[in-house]
Structure 1
């Protein structure tokens, strides 16, 4: 990135933009980009739609952001709703709310409280998901994986008794895996903890395995 040839884009209110290359993008309100957005910092308070891809060192949002292409960033954080029709690649992601990706989501450190829907692979060195609603991914792979109901779910359950918080995936594989209220065909790891509310067809482990008395595991395999 050559900062000297890039200008800032500041938007207040409701408007549209062709996109392009910028230093910093700041949006307060609503903006639709008809092309790619390439910037150092992308800040949003409100709603934004990007018909192309979003590339930034830092993405920070409060509100809703929908991207038709890929999202490539070093850091993604905020709260609200973030969706991508292609995929997400980031070093760090910390979010409260809903993340929806039709393809793969590759993040070094992934921390989410809320709902996640990944059509392909969710992967990262550290994956920490606090469930508030029904979530899913095609497959999950990483170093340290922890998927549980969040503390906020208990409060939401008091307001909306019918609210469920579960995670569904085909294969979940990591060095350390700790799961609660997860349904999967295969869970594979070094140290594996299968907590309450889990329904797993096959668990494969190398070092240790703990299974809660309320969990359902059809087959255990020591690798």
Structure 2
């Protein structure tokens, strides 16, 4: 479906723009979008609150704190800071450094997160690369290749409070190739599964191979 855009919108400093369809939206400062928005590109340096869904045809790029009272979707989503979404997050490429919170789902082909995450629903990604910094929680994770371990650096510290305990808590993880560290899960299911240091897994189901580190804890291990 073709979208009829109506030009560009720009906020410098404090201000607001109406919801609607735009070629591009550029924000530098503190702003508010007063309704759902559909645009070709969205860029923000500062703080922004969107009262509704936000969809970008090409690029969503932000540095700062973004709050969306709906869903956030686009071809590419790139964030350095904090993204809090009342609905879900969807993009072909989703790259977050900082804090991601979603009351719904996260759906991507390529997902890369460095920092903390809190997702009430499912993370579904063909390739999920998650680097933990602090306490994280997700209901379920599914994908082709899943790699979860601690973040080796502290570039996220401006948006994530320092915490002594770094761990992901999740109900179910299911994928083809799974590598886990510092993860607490009820069930992990996959073809090739690596349970690394700091993991506590209730049940592991695997088809081809399973490796469990000596410092990891597993309950039931079943080859399908």
> What is the TM-score with the length of structure 2 in the denominator?
0.94
1:145 and 1:35, CA in 2 relative to 1: closer, same or farther beyond 3 A? same
- Alignment of 1:20 onto 2:20: yes
Which residue in 2 is equivalent to 1:8? 8
2:120 corresponds to: 119
Q: Distance in 1 between matches of 2:22 and 2:204?
A: 48
Structure 2: unaligned runs, 5 residues or longer: none
SS at match of 2:91: strand
Secondary structure of 2:153's aligned partner: helix
Alpha-carbon distance in structure 1 between the residues aligned to 2:128 and 2:178: 10
Give the superposition deviation at 1:163: 2.1
RMSD between aligned residues: 1.9
Change (3 A) 1:54 1:132: same
Q: Residues of 1 paired with 2:163 and 2:139: CA distance?
A: 25
Q: Is the 8 A contact 1:109 1:124 kept in 2?
A: yes
Cα offset, 1:133, TM superposition:
1.1
Q: Which runs of 4+ in 1 moved over 6 A?
A: none
Paired residues of 1:131 and 1:153 also in contact (CA < 8 A): no
Instruction: Report the Cα distance in structure 2 between the residues aligned to 1:145 and 1:125, rounded to whole angstroms.
Output: 8
Partner of 2:55: 55
Equivalent runs, 1:8-157 vs 2, <5 Å? 8-56=8-56, 57-152=58-153
What is the CA-CA distance between 1:49 and the residue it aligns to?
A: 0.3
> Does the 8 Å CA contact 2:114/2:156 hold for their aligned counterparts?
no
Given that 2:134 and 2:162 are in contact with CA atoms closer than 8 Å, whether structure 1 keeps it comes out as no
Rounded Cα–Cα distance in structure 1 between residues aligned with 2:39 and 2:5: 12
Alpha-carbon separation, structure 2, partners of 1:131 and 1:170? 17
Give how far 1:161 is off. 8.2
Shift of 1:96: 0.6
Alignment of 1:173-188 (within 5 A): 173-188=174-189
Unaligned runs of 5+ in 1: none
When you count helix as a share of all residues, which structure comes out higher?
1
TM-score (norm 1): 0.94
- Residues 39-62 of structure 1, C-alpha deviation per residue, up to 9 Å, x if partnerless? 000000000001100000210000
Q: Kindly provide the CA deviation profile for residues 103-162 of structure 1, in whole angstroms up to 9, marking residues without a partner as x.
A: 111111000110111000001100000111111110000000000001115997xxx985
Alpha-carbon shift at residue 187 of structure 1 (Å) = 0.2
Q: How many angstroms apart in 2 are the aligned matches of 1:54 and 1:60?
A: 12
Q: Distance in 2 between matches of 1:154 and 1:100?
A: 18
